[in-house]
């Protein structure tokens, strides 16, 4: 391996874009500067913020918590609280919860654990069971993503958060970009921006401080700071997710043609910026059932709850009525409305 381009000590990382090499200390400095630059460039944070860091307990989210906690010590107006959404996945979530609890105790960080059970009325394992029993065509990750966003937004509001920071890195973002192309979900592509502001519609502003950070960079940062979990546990539902195949394909492409990842990110940025200039404000409405922000009269989480039989009978009647009044909702509901 080369020597550090700054101090000449043995390097541990070489930036694939400009071939600059970094030793341990200069890598940490490079990484934190990159995150700070992203925060500044996309105006992610103001002087006074209560930052809710969405933590899964995995290496990326603990690395994000670590950076923001470190930065907050120099910013008196910033307060950082970690929130972990426990979906209720047996044999998986317990381990990552331990990682957060250990990190928080060691670094004196406030944290809260909220669950699907508490906010939705069923764990993900129960939801998957119910969905299968009802013949619903959705994959576990579809419920998981929708409900996790929903629970996080509600919990963050309850805690008085002003902004939600998630650990989506460059790799995550471009994987989602390709997944949305594959499934012809063009609208979702436009949401893959570094900042999603929608205070008007009830969503707390969401930011991705790792937007320009490669997965291997955040992993290395976690490793060098002793944040990485000793054993990697994979979610049992991961095998159903096309993301993992796409991830493998992009990594193979990057190995053969370095720069592909940044190329995909830049294409995404061009696309989303173009769209933003076309319609500056993305008008949102509020779900008529739960009051959470939604692009339709009933939000995706409430439609899933309806299909899974997790709504009250009054809610179910109201949703049936709303589906009748708004035929566009039929597109999102698999079951016949009478069931």
DSSP state of 166: -
Rg (the chain; Cα; Å): 21
Per the rule left: phi > 0, alpha: psi between -120 and 50, beta: everything else, 298 is beta
Q: How many residues bind ligand SF4 (CB under 6 A)?
A: 9
Residue 145 touches which of ligand SF4, Zn ion, none (CB < 5 to 8 A by kind)?
Answer: ligand SF4
* Interacting residues with ligand SF4 between 234 and 293 (CB under 6 A): 235, 237-238, 241
Cα 96 to Cα 62: distance, rounded to the nearest angstrom: 10
Supply the minimum distance, in Å, between the C-beta of residue 49 and ligand SF4: 27
Q: Which residues are CB-neighbours of 67 under 8 A, at least 6 positions away? A: 31, 32, 35, 209, 221
Q: Which of 289, 308, 310, 319 binds Zn ion (CB under 5 A)?
A: 289
Which one, 75 or 219, has the nearer CB to ligand SF4? 219
Supply the minimum distance, in Å, between the C-beta of residue 321 and Zn ion: 15
Which one, 268 or 319, has the nearer CB to Zn ion? 319
Q: Does 58 bind ligand SF4 (CB under 6 A)?
A: no
Supply the minimum distance, in Å, between the C-beta of residue 117 and ligand SF4: 15
Supply the minimum distance, in Å, between the C-beta of residue 221 and ligand SF4: 22
Which one, 138 or 190, has the nearer CB to ligand SF4? 138
Cα 90 to Cα 96: distance, rounded to the nearest angstrom: 12
Which one, 207 or 287, has the nearer CB to Zn ion? 287
Supply the minimum distance, in Å, between the C-beta of residue 339 and ligand SF4: 26
Tokens found for residue 158? 């309850």
Q: Does 302 bind Zn ion (CB under 5 A)?
A: yes
Residue 299 touches which of Zn ion, ligand SF4, none (CB < 5 to 8 A by kind)?
Answer: Zn ion
Tokens found for residue 61? 């989210």
Binding range to ligand SF4, per CB under 6 A, among 9-17, 28-36, 137-145, 299-307: 137-145
Residues β-bridged to residue 85 = 114
Cα 33 to Cα 41: distance, rounded to the nearest angstrom: 12
Tokens found for residue 105? 């105790």
Nearest to residue 151, comparing CAs of 120, 188, 128?
Answer: 120
* Interacting residues with ligand SF4 between 138 and 177 (CB under 6 A): 140-141, 144-145
Cα 150 to Cα 153: distance, rounded to the nearest angstrom: 5
Which one, 30 or 237, has the nearer CB to ligand SF4? 237
Cα 313 to Cα 323: distance, rounded to the nearest angstrom: 15
Q: Is 163 helix (H, G, I), strand (E, B) or coil?
A: strand
Q: Does 287 bind Zn ion (CB under 5 A)?
A: yes
Q: Does 105 bind ligand SF4 (CB under 6 A)?
A: no
The footprint of Zn ion (CB under 5 A) covers: 287, 289-290, 292, 299, 302
């Amino acid at each position: 391996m080369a020597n550090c381009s700054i101090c000449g000590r043995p390097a541990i990382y070489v930036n694939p874009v400009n071939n600059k090499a970094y030793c341990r200390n200069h890598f940490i400095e490079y990484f934190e500067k990159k995150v700070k630059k992203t925060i500044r460039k996309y105006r992610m944070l103001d002087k006074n913020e209560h930052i809710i860091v969405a933590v899964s307990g995995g290496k990326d989210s603990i690395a994000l918590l670590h950076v923001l906690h470190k930065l907050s010590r120099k910013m008196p107006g910033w307060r950082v609280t970690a929130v972990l959404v426990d979906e209720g996945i047996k044999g998986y979530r317990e381990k990552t919860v331990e990682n957060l609890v250990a990190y928080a105790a060691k670094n004196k960080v406030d944290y809260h654990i909220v669950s699907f059970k508490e906010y939705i009325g069923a764990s993900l394992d129960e939801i998957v069971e119910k969905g299968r029993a009802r013949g619903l065509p959705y994959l576990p990750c579809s419920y998981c993503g929708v409900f996790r966003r929903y629970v996080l937004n509600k919990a963050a509001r309850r805690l008085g958060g002003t902004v939600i920071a998630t650990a989506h890195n460059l790799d995550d973002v471009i994987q989602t970009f390709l997944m949305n192309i594959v499934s012809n979900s063009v609208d979702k592509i436009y949401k893959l921006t570094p900042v999603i502001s929608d205070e008007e519609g009830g969503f707390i502003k969401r930011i991705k401080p790792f937007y320009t950070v490669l997965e291997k960079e955040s992993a290395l940062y976690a490793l060098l700071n002793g944040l990485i979990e000793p054993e990697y546990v994979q979610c049992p539902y991961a095998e159903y997710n096309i993301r993992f195949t796409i991830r493998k394909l992009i990594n193979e492409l990057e190995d053969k043609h370095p720069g592909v990842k940044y190329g995909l990110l830049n294409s995404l940025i061009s696309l989303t910026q173009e769209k933003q200039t076309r319609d500056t404000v993305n008008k949102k409405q509020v779900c008529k059932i739960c009051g959470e922000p939604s692009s339709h009269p009933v939000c995706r989480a409430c439609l899933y709850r309806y299909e899974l039989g997790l709504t009250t009978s009054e809610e179910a009647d109201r949703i049936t009525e709303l589906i009748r009044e708004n035929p566009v909702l039929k597109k999102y509901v698999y079951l016949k409305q009478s069931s």
